[in-house]
């Protein structure tokens, strides 16, 4: 049951009944304070304007028209015409009884859409670095949530496996064809890449040779292709190591790298030319985008083929768009990259729509995120200024968590400490990223992400173990509870309302690809639970059986919601820590 949607429907009907035009605004929000009720409907003011009547009169009429018998215990007009909605406590309790009996916690699936999610997408040859952490973690939470809601999700790891960096590697490699070099090249690709990059930047003529190699590679030269495949395989193995440490759902079959679109690129350019969209400019094929002209009126320039014949990142993205919309049948295409690519995707959408590379009904959504910063506020680097390697970062997270857990002295065996540290360390890194609004830059800090207080993974994981320990103490199986929920204390009611709003958080993430909304929800839930637990004794002597059982039921539902929510974010829970 989605209480928000349910109320919204009721108010929309009521609006129609008091003479509102079709599509009249129906703003419904959560109340900010308990004395304002649980939800607030704010549609009276706008309608009053439309109808030329007094807002409070309209509010009264809406209250008379809305059918909420047995659902709302009180509807009152406040201020200029707000309608405060107080839900019936018994009705709220009954909603939770239903949720408690349902493995999906009362959450229905949505009509299934096909959603392509392009995330992680590292550039191969270089090892994955922190820049790819955000897209991988956020993207993975988004796909889990979409799948939970019943959608067909197609993961696309659009790996950068076809660009200049491979030309560099091939050129460097061909210069040093002794076996030994070949071996080191393949065993320490990172180092080999670095050496090639130095030559690319500094050595006369090398860059041109590298570019020739790209053309050769893209033209299908079998010698080049063979070597390229070896480089790619090593790189993919590196990425997979990171994926497995991170416990993300990306599989090898989700890889659809840039190279996979190679054969489609000439067709993309010729279609653009035929439609008069692409024109020649200094030997290159470009699309001028008037919609994105600068202040002087100069159109944005979108290059789809270089003067030497090479194709670009943009050409590949047009091909990917077409494939996803027409062949994968996508209703939505979500692409997660850092915000610096926002303009690129805006341009790609404009060009792609004009050229008919995307069906009208496919929505194309670039989901940008900010940068990861160090504690100095500058892009996150190692102490020596190098880029931070992901695999090492994750190992450090687990080490730090392990030290923290061991210091807590919670009676765990060494084996248990290491298992807990794994989940807490990785969970902390992921959650720190997920919990921030993705559009802002985010400051990486070990201390804050590993804190047991505040909006962190350890705090939520710990809240979950607290509930588990209640059940252990009570000697009760949480799954076997059948008690009806009774809501008497204000803390019980507040917890219940929060529990009922899980679906609202999930739907928002489903729509906006913003996992921080779910994080915020879970954090509030854990906090509400702590207040409830302080105010409402469960196992204490003298607590009546039905009260005790109802409270256990609330605790069980809280645990299930925390577990489901964390799981949707890709974070493990623990029974003890």
Contacts with ligand ARG, residue ranges (CB under 6 A): 118, 121-123, 158, 160, 317, 320, 335, 337
CA dist., res. 557 & res. 570, Å (int): 20
Name the minimum Å distance from CB 200 to ligand ARG.
18
Name the minimum Å distance from CB 123 to ligand ARG.
5
H/E stretch holding 444 reads none
The contacts of residue 400 (CB under 8 Å, 6+ apart) are 425, 446, 450
Inter-axis angle of helices 390-408 and 131-148, to 10 degrees? 70
Residue 322's nearest CA partner among 355, 292, 293 is: 355
CA dist., res. 172 & res. 198, Å (int): 10
Name the minimum Å distance from CB 41 to ligand ARG.
41
β-pair partners for 364: 333
Name the minimum Å distance from CB 337 to ligand ARG.
5
Residue 305 DSSP label = E
3-state secondary structure at position 20: coil
Of 144 and 158, nearer to ligand ARG (C-beta) is: 158
Name the minimum Å distance from CB 291 to ligand ARG.
20
Name the minimum Å distance from CB 357 to ligand ARG.
13
Are the beta carbons of 159 and 124 closer than 8 angstroms? yes
Of 335 and 372, nearer to ligand ARG (C-beta) is: 335
Are the beta carbons of 80 and 45 closer than 8 angstroms? yes
Of 55 and 131, nearer to ligand ARG (C-beta) is: 131
Name the minimum Å distance from CB 320 to ligand ARG.
5
Of 38 and 161, nearer to ligand ARG (C-beta) is: 161
Are the beta carbons of 509 and 565 closer than 8 angstroms? no
Of 118 and 510, nearer to ligand ARG (C-beta) is: 118
Of 335 and 538, nearer to ligand ARG (C-beta) is: 335
Of 366 and 423, nearer to ligand ARG (C-beta) is: 366
Are the beta carbons of 405 and 372 closer than 8 angstroms? no
The contacts of residue 557 (CB under 8 Å, 6+ apart) are 96, 99, 100, 105, 485, 499
Residue 107's nearest CA partner among 389, 505, 553, 394 is: 505
Of 316 and 455, nearer to ligand ARG (C-beta) is: 316
Of 242 and 424, nearer to ligand ARG (C-beta) is: 242
Name the minimum Å distance from CB 160 to ligand ARG.
4
Structure tokens at 435: 């919990």
Are the beta carbons of 462 and 575 closer than 8 angstroms? no
CA dist., res. 349 & res. 363, Å (int): 10
Name the minimum Å distance from CB 258 to ligand ARG.
8
């Amino acid at each position: 049951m989605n209480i928000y949607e349910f109320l919204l429907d009721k108010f929309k009907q009521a609006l129609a009944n008091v003479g509102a035009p079709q599509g009249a605004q129906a703003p419904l929000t959560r109340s900010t304070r308990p004395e304002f009720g649980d939800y607030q409907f704010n549609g009276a003011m706008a309608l009053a304007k439309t109808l030329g009547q007094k807002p409070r009169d309209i509010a009264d009429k809406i209250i008379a028209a809305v059918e909420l018998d047995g659902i709302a215990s009180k509807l009152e007009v406040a201020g200029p015409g707000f309608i405060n909605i107080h839900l019936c406590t018994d009705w709220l309790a009954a909603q939770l009884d239903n949720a408690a009996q349902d493995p999906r916690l009362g959450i229905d699936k949505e009509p299934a859409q096909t959603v392509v999610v392009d995330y992680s997408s590292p550039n191969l040859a270089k090892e994955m670095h922190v820049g790819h952490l955000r897209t991988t973690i956020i993207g993975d939470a988004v796909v889990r949530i979409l799948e939970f809601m019943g959608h067909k999700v197609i993961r696309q790891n659009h790996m950068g496996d076809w660009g200049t960096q491979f030309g560099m590697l091939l050129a460097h490699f061909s210069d040093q064809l002794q076996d030994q070099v070949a071996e080191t090249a393949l065993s320490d690709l990172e180092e080999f890449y670095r050496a090639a990059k130095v030559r690319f930047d500094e050595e006369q003529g090398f860059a041109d040779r590298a570019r020739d190699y790209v053309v050769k590679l893209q033209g299908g030269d079998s010698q080049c292709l063979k070597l390229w495949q070896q480089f790619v395989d090593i790189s993919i193995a590196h990425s997979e190591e990171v994926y497995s440490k991170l416990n993300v759902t990306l599989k090898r079959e989700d890889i659809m790298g840039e190279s996979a679109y190679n054969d489609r690129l000439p067709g993309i350019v010729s279609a653009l030319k035929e439609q008069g969209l692409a024109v020649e400019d200094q030997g290159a094929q470009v699309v001028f985008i008037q919609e994105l002209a600068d202040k002087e009126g100069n159109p944005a320039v979108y290059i789809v083929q270089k003067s030497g014949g090479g194709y670009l990142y943009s050409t590949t993205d047009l091909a990917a768009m077409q494939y996803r919309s027409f062949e994968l049948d996508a209703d939505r295409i979500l692409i997660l990259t850092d915000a610096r690519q926002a303009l690129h995707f805006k341009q790609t959408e404009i060009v792609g729509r004009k050229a008919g590379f995307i069906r009208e009904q496919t929505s194309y959504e670039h989901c940008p995120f900010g940068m990861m910063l160090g504690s100095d506020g500058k892009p996150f680097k190692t102490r020596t200024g190098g880029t931070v390697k992901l695999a090492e970062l994750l190992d450090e997270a687990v080490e730090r968590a392990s030290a923290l857990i061991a210091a807590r002295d919670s009676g765990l065996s060494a084996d248990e400490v290491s298992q807990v540290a794994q989940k807490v360390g990785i969970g902390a890194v992921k959650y720190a990223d997920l919990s921030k609004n993705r559009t802002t830059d985010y400051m990486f800090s070990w201390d804050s992400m590993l804190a047991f207080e505040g909006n962190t993974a350890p705090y939520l994981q710990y809240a979950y173990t607290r509930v588990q320990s209640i059940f252990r103490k009570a000697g009760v199986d949480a799954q076997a509870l059948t008690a009806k929920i009774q809501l008497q204390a204000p803390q019980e009611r507040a917890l219940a309302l929060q529990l009922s709003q899980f679906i609202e958080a999930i739907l928002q993430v489903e729509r906006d690809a913003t996992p921080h909304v779910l994080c915020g929800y879970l954090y509030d839930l854990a906090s509400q639970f702590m207040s409830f637990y302080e105010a409402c004794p469960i196992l204490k002597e003298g607590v009546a059986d039905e009260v005790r059982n109802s409270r256990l039921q609330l605790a069980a539902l809280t645990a299930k919601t925390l577990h489901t929510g964390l799981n949707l974010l890709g974070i493990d829970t623990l029974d003890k820590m």
